A and B are shown apart, each in its own frame.
Chain A
Protein backbone atom coordinates (compact mmCIF):
# COMPACT_ATOMS: atom_id res chain seq x y z
CA UNK A 1 0.00 0.00 0.00
CA UNK A 2 1.49 3.34 -1.02
CA UNK A 3 0.29 6.90 -0.45
CA UNK A 4 0.57 9.53 -3.16
CA UNK A 5 1.62 13.10 -2.31
CA UNK A 6 -1.89 14.24 -3.16
CA UNK A 7 -3.36 11.54 -0.93
CA UNK A 8 -1.16 12.66 1.99
CA UNK A 9 -2.15 16.30 1.50
CA UNK A 10 -5.84 15.38 1.36
CA UNK A 11 -5.45 13.28 4.49
CA UNK A 12 -3.89 16.19 6.36
CA UNK A 13 -6.65 18.43 5.04
CA UNK A 14 -9.14 16.37 7.07
CA UNK A 15 -7.83 18.38 10.02
CA UNK A 16 -9.87 21.24 8.66
CA UNK A 17 -13.03 19.56 10.00
CA UNK A 18 -12.17 19.66 13.71
CA UNK A 19 -10.41 23.02 13.35
CA UNK A 20 -13.43 24.63 11.63
CA UNK A 21 -15.80 23.17 14.23
CA UNK A 22 -13.60 24.54 17.05
CA UNK A 23 -13.45 27.91 15.33
CA UNK A 24 -17.22 28.01 14.74
CA UNK A 25 -18.00 27.25 18.38
CA UNK A 26 -15.31 29.52 19.80
CA UNK A 27 -13.23 26.73 21.32
CA UNK A 28 -10.10 28.51 22.32
CA UNK A 29 -7.37 25.97 21.75
CA UNK A 30 -6.97 25.83 18.02
CA UNK A 31 -3.37 26.91 18.42
CA UNK A 32 -2.70 24.23 20.99
CA UNK A 33 -4.31 21.63 18.75
CA UNK A 34 -2.12 22.59 15.84
CA UNK A 35 0.98 22.42 18.01
CA UNK A 36 0.03 18.97 19.26
CA UNK A 37 -0.71 17.70 15.75
CA UNK A 38 2.61 19.02 14.44
CA UNK A 39 4.36 17.47 17.44
CA UNK A 40 2.65 14.15 16.70
CA UNK A 41 3.74 14.29 13.05
CA UNK A 42 7.33 15.16 13.94
CA UNK A 43 7.63 12.46 16.61
CA UNK A 44 6.02 9.83 14.38
CA UNK A 45 8.38 10.76 11.52
CA UNK A 46 11.42 10.56 13.81
CA UNK A 47 10.28 7.21 15.18
CA UNK A 48 9.56 6.07 11.64
CA UNK A 49 13.04 7.10 10.51
CA UNK A 50 14.65 5.16 13.34
CA UNK A 51 12.36 2.21 12.64
CA UNK A 52 13.26 2.23 8.97
CA UNK A 53 16.97 1.91 9.73
CA UNK A 54 16.49 -0.52 12.60
CA UNK A 55 14.41 -2.83 10.42
CA UNK A 56 16.85 -2.50 7.55
CA UNK A 57 19.85 -3.12 9.79
CA UNK A 58 18.02 -5.89 11.72
CA UNK A 59 20.69 -6.43 14.35
CA UNK A 60 19.57 -8.38 17.43
CA UNK A 61 21.23 -6.03 19.94
CA UNK A 62 19.92 -2.91 18.21
CA UNK A 63 16.43 -4.44 18.15
CA UNK A 64 16.55 -5.13 21.88
CA UNK A 65 17.90 -1.62 22.50
CA UNK A 66 14.95 -0.19 20.56
CA UNK A 67 12.59 -2.20 22.75
CA UNK A 68 14.41 -0.88 25.83
CA UNK A 69 13.99 2.69 24.62
CA UNK A 70 10.27 2.04 24.05
CA UNK A 71 10.02 0.47 27.53
CA UNK A 72 11.71 3.50 29.12
CA UNK A 73 9.30 5.85 27.34
CA UNK A 74 6.37 3.69 28.46
CA UNK A 75 7.59 3.62 32.06
CA UNK A 76 8.08 7.39 32.06
CA UNK A 77 4.56 8.02 30.73
CA UNK A 78 3.04 5.51 33.15
CA UNK A 79 4.66 7.04 36.22
CA UNK A 80 3.93 10.64 35.17
CA UNK A 81 0.27 9.72 34.57
CA UNK A 82 0.03 7.98 37.94
CA UNK A 83 1.50 11.09 39.67
CA UNK A 84 4.13 9.12 41.55
CA UNK A 85 7.77 9.99 42.20
CA UNK A 86 9.71 9.47 38.99
CA UNK A 87 13.05 9.32 40.77
CA UNK A 88 11.98 6.36 42.91
CA UNK A 89 9.97 4.33 40.47
CA UNK A 90 11.43 4.89 37.00
CA UNK A 91 14.04 2.13 37.19
CA UNK A 92 11.73 -0.58 38.62
CA UNK A 93 8.97 0.44 36.20
CA UNK A 94 11.42 0.18 33.27
CA UNK A 95 12.60 -3.21 34.45
CA UNK A 96 9.09 -4.54 35.04
CA UNK A 97 7.71 -3.22 31.77
CA UNK A 98 10.71 -4.28 29.65
CA UNK A 99 10.82 -7.85 30.94
CA UNK A 100 7.10 -8.44 30.63
CA UNK A 101 7.02 -6.95 27.11
CA UNK A 102 10.03 -8.99 25.96
CA UNK A 103 8.75 -12.26 27.42
CA UNK A 104 5.23 -11.92 26.02
CA UNK A 105 6.50 -10.32 22.80
CA UNK A 106 9.02 -13.05 22.04
CA UNK A 107 6.44 -15.72 22.93
CA UNK A 108 3.95 -14.11 20.58
CA UNK A 109 6.34 -13.73 17.67
CA UNK A 110 7.96 -17.14 18.05
CA UNK A 111 5.09 -19.39 19.02
CA UNK A 112 1.92 -17.57 18.02
CA UNK A 113 3.05 -15.99 14.76
CA UNK A 114 5.45 -18.86 14.07
CA UNK A 115 8.34 -16.60 13.08
CA UNK A 116 11.61 -18.52 13.23
CA UNK A 117 13.67 -15.60 14.50
CA UNK A 118 11.63 -13.92 17.26
CA UNK A 119 14.13 -11.08 17.55
CA UNK A 120 13.60 -10.04 13.90
CA UNK A 121 12.93 -6.27 13.94
CA UNK A 122 10.05 -6.51 11.46
CA UNK A 123 8.02 -8.52 13.95
CA UNK A 124 9.45 -7.93 17.42
CA UNK A 125 9.30 -4.15 17.35
CA UNK A 126 5.70 -3.71 16.12
CA UNK A 127 4.45 -6.43 18.49
CA UNK A 128 6.24 -5.01 21.53
CA UNK A 129 5.19 -1.54 20.45
CA UNK A 130 1.53 -2.58 20.54
CA UNK A 131 1.98 -4.30 23.89
CA UNK A 132 3.74 -1.30 25.42
CA UNK A 133 1.09 1.09 24.11
CA UNK A 134 -1.55 -0.86 26.02
CA UNK A 135 0.54 -0.76 29.18
CA UNK A 136 0.48 3.04 29.22
CA UNK A 137 -3.31 3.00 29.01
CA UNK A 138 -3.94 0.47 31.76
CA UNK A 139 -1.07 0.44 34.21
CA UNK A 140 -0.96 4.00 35.48
CA UNK A 141 -4.26 3.39 37.24
CA UNK A 142 -2.96 0.20 38.83
CA UNK A 143 0.23 1.82 40.11
CA UNK A 144 -1.70 4.83 41.37
CA UNK A 145 -4.15 2.54 43.21
CA UNK A 146 -1.31 0.60 44.83
CA UNK A 147 0.88 3.48 45.95
CA UNK A 148 -1.90 5.91 46.87
CA UNK A 149 -3.38 3.04 48.85
CA UNK A 150 -0.08 2.57 50.69
CA UNK A 151 0.08 6.28 51.35
CA UNK A 152 -3.47 6.60 52.66
CA UNK A 153 -3.74 3.20 54.33
CA UNK A 154 -0.29 3.26 55.86
CA UNK A 155 -1.75 2.46 59.28
CA UNK A 156 -3.27 -0.75 57.95
CA UNK A 157 0.12 -1.73 56.52
CA UNK A 158 1.85 -1.16 59.88
CA UNK A 159 -1.00 -2.90 61.72
CA UNK A 160 -0.57 -6.05 59.66
CA UNK A 161 3.24 -5.95 59.77
CA UNK A 162 3.19 -5.30 63.53
CA UNK A 163 1.09 -8.47 63.84
CA UNK A 164 3.65 -10.56 62.00
CA UNK A 165 2.59 -10.13 58.37
CA UNK A 166 5.22 -10.23 55.64
CA UNK A 167 5.34 -7.30 53.22
CA UNK A 168 3.43 -9.38 50.64
CA UNK A 169 0.73 -10.27 53.17
CA UNK A 170 0.44 -6.66 54.31
CA UNK A 171 0.01 -5.39 50.74
CA UNK A 172 -2.14 -8.23 49.40
CA UNK A 173 -5.34 -6.14 49.46
CA UNK A 174 -3.63 -3.36 47.49
CA UNK A 175 -2.26 -5.85 44.99
CA UNK A 176 -5.79 -7.19 44.57
CA UNK A 177 -7.17 -3.71 43.93
CA UNK A 178 -4.42 -2.90 41.42
CA UNK A 179 -5.02 -6.10 39.50
CA UNK A 180 -8.76 -5.42 39.53
CA UNK A 181 -8.06 -2.03 37.97
CA UNK A 182 -5.93 -3.55 35.18
CA UNK A 183 -8.47 -6.29 34.54
CA UNK A 184 -11.41 -3.86 34.51
CA UNK A 185 -9.70 -1.49 32.07
CA UNK A 186 -8.71 -4.30 29.72
CA UNK A 187 -12.16 -5.87 29.89
CA UNK A 188 -13.91 -2.60 29.13
CA UNK A 189 -11.78 -2.22 25.98
CA UNK A 190 -12.16 -5.78 24.72
CA UNK A 191 -15.70 -6.04 23.39
CA UNK A 192 -15.52 -2.68 21.62
CA UNK A 193 -15.81 -3.37 17.90
CA UNK A 194 -15.11 0.18 16.81
CA UNK A 195 -12.30 2.45 17.93
CA UNK A 196 -8.65 2.23 18.83
CA UNK A 197 -8.70 -1.33 20.14
CA UNK A 198 -9.56 -2.72 16.68
CA UNK A 199 -6.87 -0.73 14.86
CA UNK A 200 -5.02 -3.94 14.03
CA UNK A 201 -8.05 -5.46 12.36
CA UNK A 202 -8.75 -2.45 10.17
CA UNK A 203 -5.06 -1.72 9.44
CA UNK A 204 -4.38 -5.25 8.30
CA UNK A 205 -7.44 -5.29 6.06
CA UNK A 206 -6.37 -1.98 4.49
CA UNK A 207 -2.84 -3.31 4.04
CA UNK A 208 -4.16 -6.27 2.07
CA UNK A 209 -4.29 -9.09 4.61
CA UNK A 210 -7.22 -11.45 4.45
CA UNK A 211 -10.10 -10.68 6.77
CA UNK A 212 -9.60 -13.99 8.59
CA UNK A 213 -5.93 -13.21 9.25
CA UNK A 214 -6.87 -9.71 10.40
CA UNK A 215 -9.57 -11.01 12.76
CA UNK A 216 -7.30 -13.70 14.24
CA UNK A 217 -4.47 -11.18 14.67
CA UNK A 218 -6.81 -8.73 16.40
CA UNK A 219 -8.07 -11.36 18.87
CA UNK A 220 -4.63 -12.72 19.66
CA UNK A 221 -2.95 -9.36 20.11
CA UNK A 222 -5.73 -8.21 22.47
CA UNK A 223 -5.14 -11.33 24.56
CA UNK A 224 -1.38 -10.65 24.53
CA UNK A 225 -2.01 -7.05 25.58
CA UNK A 226 -4.13 -8.24 28.50
CA UNK A 227 -1.39 -10.64 29.57
CA UNK A 228 1.38 -8.09 29.36
CA UNK A 229 -0.54 -5.46 31.34
CA UNK A 230 -1.11 -7.88 34.21
CA UNK A 231 2.43 -9.19 34.09
CA UNK A 232 3.99 -5.74 33.96
CA UNK A 233 2.05 -4.55 37.04
CA UNK A 234 3.24 -7.56 39.04
CA UNK A 235 6.82 -7.23 37.78
CA UNK A 236 6.95 -3.48 38.38
CA UNK A 237 5.62 -3.82 41.93
CA UNK A 238 8.09 -6.63 42.60
CA UNK A 239 11.05 -4.62 41.32
CA UNK A 240 9.80 -1.50 43.10
CA UNK A 241 9.61 -3.13 46.49
CA UNK A 242 13.13 -2.23 47.57
CA UNK A 243 12.52 1.35 46.43
CA UNK A 244 9.26 1.72 48.35
CA UNK A 245 10.20 0.31 51.76
CA UNK A 246 13.44 0.64 53.69
CA UNK A 247 15.41 -2.19 55.33
CA UNK A 248 13.30 -1.79 58.51
CA UNK A 249 10.04 -2.29 56.63
CA UNK A 250 9.08 1.39 56.90
CA UNK A 251 7.32 2.94 53.93
CA UNK A 252 9.31 5.49 51.92
CA UNK A 253 7.75 8.59 50.47
CA UNK A 254 6.57 7.70 46.99
Chain B
Protein backbone atom coordinates (compact mmCIF):
# COMPACT_ATOMS: atom_id res chain seq x y z
CA UNK B 1 0.00 0.00 0.00
CA UNK B 2 1.11 3.55 -0.64
CA UNK B 3 -0.01 6.41 1.55
CA UNK B 4 0.56 10.15 1.60
CA UNK B 5 -0.31 12.08 4.75
CA UNK B 6 -0.37 15.90 4.83
CA UNK B 7 2.37 16.08 2.24
CA UNK B 8 3.73 19.30 0.84
CA UNK B 9 6.67 19.33 -1.56
CA UNK B 10 9.31 21.92 -2.38
CA UNK B 11 9.63 22.46 -6.13
CA UNK B 12 12.28 25.05 -6.77
CA UNK B 13 11.31 28.05 -4.70
CA UNK B 14 7.64 27.25 -4.53
CA UNK B 15 5.77 24.81 -2.38
CA UNK B 16 3.29 22.47 -4.01
CA UNK B 17 0.74 20.00 -2.69
CA UNK B 18 0.01 21.70 0.56
CA UNK B 19 -1.32 19.00 2.88
CA UNK B 20 -2.03 16.29 0.29
CA UNK B 21 -3.37 13.04 1.76
CA UNK B 22 -4.52 9.81 0.14
CA UNK B 23 -3.95 6.10 0.35
CA UNK B 24 -3.88 3.47 -2.39
CA UNK B 25 -4.28 -0.12 -1.25
CA UNK B 26 -3.35 -3.29 -3.11
CA UNK B 27 -5.90 -3.94 -5.84
CA UNK B 28 -6.80 -0.24 -6.22
CA UNK B 29 -5.95 2.16 -9.02
CA UNK B 30 -5.48 5.88 -8.48
CA UNK B 31 -5.55 8.22 -11.45
CA UNK B 32 -3.84 11.60 -11.07
CA UNK B 33 -4.84 14.08 -13.74
CA UNK B 34 -3.85 17.65 -14.39
CA UNK B 35 -2.46 20.07 -16.96
CA UNK B 36 1.04 19.56 -18.30
CA UNK B 37 2.72 21.78 -15.68
CA UNK B 38 0.73 20.64 -12.67
CA UNK B 39 3.66 18.69 -11.13
CA UNK B 40 2.23 15.18 -11.61
CA UNK B 41 5.69 13.78 -12.34
CA UNK B 42 7.04 15.62 -9.29
CA UNK B 43 4.45 13.85 -7.16
CA UNK B 44 5.42 10.45 -8.58
CA UNK B 45 9.10 11.21 -7.95
CA UNK B 46 8.31 12.09 -4.35
CA UNK B 47 6.43 8.80 -3.94
CA UNK B 48 9.53 7.00 -5.20
CA UNK B 49 11.69 8.83 -2.71
CA UNK B 50 13.63 10.96 -5.21
CA UNK B 51 12.44 14.16 -3.54
CA UNK B 52 12.18 15.09 0.14
CA UNK B 53 8.84 16.27 1.54
CA UNK B 54 8.55 19.60 3.32
CA UNK B 55 5.92 18.30 5.70
CA UNK B 56 3.93 15.14 6.26
CA UNK B 57 5.14 11.75 5.11
CA UNK B 58 4.87 9.12 2.41
CA UNK B 59 4.81 5.44 3.27
CA UNK B 60 5.17 2.32 1.14
CA UNK B 61 4.08 -0.87 2.83
CA UNK B 62 3.90 1.01 6.12
CA UNK B 63 7.51 2.23 5.96
CA UNK B 64 8.23 5.92 5.73
CA UNK B 65 9.99 6.94 2.53
CA UNK B 66 13.11 8.99 3.27
CA UNK B 67 16.72 9.26 2.10
CA UNK B 68 17.76 6.17 4.07
CA UNK B 69 14.86 3.90 3.19
CA UNK B 70 14.13 4.97 -0.41
CA UNK B 71 16.62 2.63 -2.10
CA UNK B 72 15.28 -0.38 -0.20
CA UNK B 73 11.63 0.55 -0.69
CA UNK B 74 12.12 0.91 -4.44
CA UNK B 75 12.62 -2.86 -4.57
CA UNK B 76 8.85 -2.94 -3.94
CA UNK B 77 8.00 -0.44 -6.66
CA UNK B 78 7.80 -0.47 -10.41
CA UNK B 79 7.99 2.75 -12.41
CA UNK B 80 7.42 3.65 -16.02
CA UNK B 81 8.26 7.33 -16.61
CA UNK B 82 7.00 9.58 -19.38
CA UNK B 83 9.13 10.15 -22.48
CA UNK B 84 11.31 7.13 -21.81
CA UNK B 85 13.90 6.75 -24.57
CA UNK B 86 14.82 3.10 -25.01
CA UNK B 87 17.63 3.41 -27.58
CA UNK B 88 20.23 1.98 -25.19
CA UNK B 89 18.87 -1.52 -25.81
CA UNK B 90 19.47 -3.21 -29.16
CA UNK B 91 16.74 -5.81 -28.77
CA UNK B 92 13.50 -6.23 -26.85
CA UNK B 93 15.10 -9.23 -25.12
CA UNK B 94 17.91 -6.98 -23.84
CA UNK B 95 15.34 -4.53 -22.47
CA UNK B 96 13.50 -7.38 -20.74
CA UNK B 97 16.74 -8.89 -19.45
CA UNK B 98 17.95 -5.59 -18.02
CA UNK B 99 14.83 -5.34 -15.86
CA UNK B 100 14.65 -8.98 -14.79
CA UNK B 101 18.33 -9.28 -13.86
CA UNK B 102 18.36 -6.35 -11.43
CA UNK B 103 19.47 -7.62 -8.04
CA UNK B 104 16.26 -6.60 -6.32
CA UNK B 105 14.16 -8.30 -9.03
CA UNK B 106 15.93 -11.65 -8.83
CA UNK B 107 13.78 -12.49 -5.80
CA UNK B 108 11.05 -13.33 -8.30
CA UNK B 109 12.25 -16.00 -10.65
CA UNK B 110 11.94 -14.82 -14.24
CA UNK B 111 10.51 -17.21 -16.77
CA UNK B 112 10.25 -16.45 -20.47
CA UNK B 113 7.33 -18.88 -20.73
CA UNK B 114 5.43 -16.94 -18.09
CA UNK B 115 6.09 -13.69 -19.97
CA UNK B 116 4.95 -15.25 -23.27
CA UNK B 117 1.73 -16.43 -21.66
CA UNK B 118 1.09 -12.87 -20.39
CA UNK B 119 1.84 -11.57 -23.89
CA UNK B 120 -0.63 -14.06 -25.36
CA UNK B 121 -3.28 -12.75 -22.97
CA UNK B 122 -2.74 -9.20 -24.25
CA UNK B 123 -2.46 -10.16 -27.89
CA UNK B 124 1.29 -9.50 -28.20
CA UNK B 125 3.23 -11.45 -30.80
CA UNK B 126 5.93 -13.73 -29.37
CA UNK B 127 8.21 -12.68 -32.26
CA UNK B 128 8.53 -9.25 -30.64
CA UNK B 129 10.93 -10.75 -28.11
CA UNK B 130 13.85 -10.92 -30.56
CA UNK B 131 13.02 -7.78 -32.47
CA UNK B 132 15.30 -4.75 -32.53
CA UNK B 133 13.89 -2.03 -30.29
CA UNK B 134 14.29 0.56 -33.06
CA UNK B 135 11.75 -1.46 -35.09
CA UNK B 136 9.15 -1.45 -32.32
CA UNK B 137 7.06 1.62 -31.63
CA UNK B 138 7.44 3.30 -28.25
CA UNK B 139 3.84 2.68 -27.04
CA UNK B 140 4.32 -1.04 -27.69
CA UNK B 141 7.70 -1.04 -25.90
CA UNK B 142 5.95 0.52 -22.90
CA UNK B 143 3.34 -2.23 -22.98
CA UNK B 144 6.11 -4.83 -23.06
CA UNK B 145 7.82 -3.23 -20.05
CA UNK B 146 4.54 -3.31 -18.16
CA UNK B 147 4.02 -7.00 -18.96
CA UNK B 148 7.49 -7.72 -17.52
CA UNK B 149 6.58 -5.70 -14.43
CA UNK B 150 3.37 -7.71 -14.17
CA UNK B 151 5.29 -10.99 -14.04
CA UNK B 152 7.41 -9.58 -11.20
CA UNK B 153 4.32 -8.94 -9.07
CA UNK B 154 5.56 -5.68 -7.56
CA UNK B 155 3.10 -4.39 -4.91
CA UNK B 156 3.29 -0.71 -6.02
CA UNK B 157 3.26 0.38 -9.65
CA UNK B 158 3.59 3.97 -10.88
CA UNK B 159 3.03 4.89 -14.50
CA UNK B 160 3.49 8.36 -15.92
CA UNK B 161 1.64 9.40 -19.08
CA UNK B 162 0.39 6.09 -20.55
CA UNK B 163 0.40 6.25 -24.33
CA UNK B 164 -2.22 3.71 -25.40
CA UNK B 165 -5.37 1.85 -24.44
CA UNK B 166 -3.37 -1.39 -24.45
CA UNK B 167 -1.08 0.14 -21.82
CA UNK B 168 -4.13 1.05 -19.70
CA UNK B 169 -5.44 -2.52 -20.07
CA UNK B 170 -2.19 -3.95 -18.69
CA UNK B 171 -2.21 -1.38 -15.88
CA UNK B 172 -5.81 -2.30 -14.96
CA UNK B 173 -4.88 -6.00 -15.00
CA UNK B 174 -2.03 -5.31 -12.56
CA UNK B 175 -4.47 -3.62 -10.21
CA UNK B 176 -6.83 -6.61 -10.47
CA UNK B 177 -3.90 -8.87 -9.55
CA UNK B 178 -3.43 -6.96 -6.30
CA UNK B 179 -0.94 -4.17 -7.02
CA UNK B 180 -1.50 -0.62 -5.79
CA UNK B 181 -1.39 1.28 -9.08
CA UNK B 182 -0.94 5.02 -9.61
CA UNK B 183 -1.33 6.49 -13.07
CA UNK B 184 -0.53 10.10 -13.91
CA UNK B 185 -1.96 11.54 -17.12
CA UNK B 186 -2.99 14.87 -18.56
CA UNK B 187 -6.59 13.89 -19.15
CA UNK B 188 -8.59 11.00 -17.80
CA UNK B 189 -10.45 9.03 -20.45
CA UNK B 190 -13.15 7.97 -18.02
CA UNK B 191 -13.63 6.53 -14.58
CA UNK B 192 -13.77 2.85 -15.54
CA UNK B 193 -11.15 0.70 -13.75
CA UNK B 194 -10.28 3.64 -11.53
CA UNK B 195 -10.99 3.47 -7.82
CA UNK B 196 -9.62 6.89 -6.90
CA UNK B 197 -9.03 10.08 -8.82
CA UNK B 198 -7.13 13.24 -8.01
CA UNK B 199 -7.15 16.30 -10.24
CA UNK B 200 -4.25 18.70 -9.83
CA UNK B 201 -5.27 22.28 -10.33
CA UNK B 202 -2.52 24.83 -10.95
CA UNK B 203 -4.35 27.57 -9.02
CA UNK B 204 -5.19 25.39 -6.04
CA UNK B 205 -2.40 22.97 -5.14
CA UNK B 206 -4.78 20.00 -5.36
CA UNK B 207 -8.34 18.96 -5.28
CA UNK B 208 -9.55 15.44 -5.09
CA UNK B 209 -12.62 13.49 -5.94
CA UNK B 210 -13.20 9.88 -5.09
Which of A161, A162, A247 is packed against the most chain B CB atoms within 10 Å?
A162
Which segment of B28-36, B42-50, B172-180 sits at the interface? B42-50
Give A160 to B82 CA distance when docked, in angstroms. 13
Give A153 to B81 CA distance when docked, in angstroms. 12
Report which of B75, B79, B103, B154 forms a contact with A159, defined as CB distance below 8 A. B79
Interface range, A side: 10 to 19
Question: A250 on the interface (CB 8 Å rule)?
Answer: yes
Report which of B82, B85, B102 forms a contact with A164, defined as CB distance below 8 A. B102
Report which of B45, B83, B149 forms a contact with A163, defined as CB distance below 8 A. B149
CB distance from A126 to the nearest CB of B (A): 41
Q: A155-B85, A162-B158, A163-B78 known; A248 and B70 CB under 8 Å?
A: yes
Q: Are A162 and B51 in touch, CB under 8 angstroms?
A: no
Q: Are A159 and B84 in touch, CB under 8 angstroms?
A: yes
Give A153 to B86 CA distance when docked, in angstroms. 9
- Among A221-254, those with CB < 8 Å from B are 247-250
Ordered by A's residue number, 27 sampled pairs between the chains whose C-beta atoms are within 8 Å are A153-B85, A155-B81, A156-B84, A156-B86, A158-B48, A158-B81, A159-B80, A161-B48, A161-B74, A162-B48, A162-B78, A162-B158, A163-B74, A163-B77, A163-B78, A163-B79, A163-B105, A163-B149, A163-B154, A164-B102, A164-B103, A164-B104, A169-B103, A248-B50, A248-B51, A249-B71, A250-B45
- A residues near B (Cβ < 8 Å) are 153, 155-156, 158-166, 169, 173, 247-250
Residue of B nearest to A176 (CB): B88
Give A205 to B55 CA distance when docked, in angstroms. 72
Residue of A nearest to B77 (CB): A162
Residue of A nearest to B48 (CB): A162
Give A164 to B49 CA distance when docked, in angstroms. 12
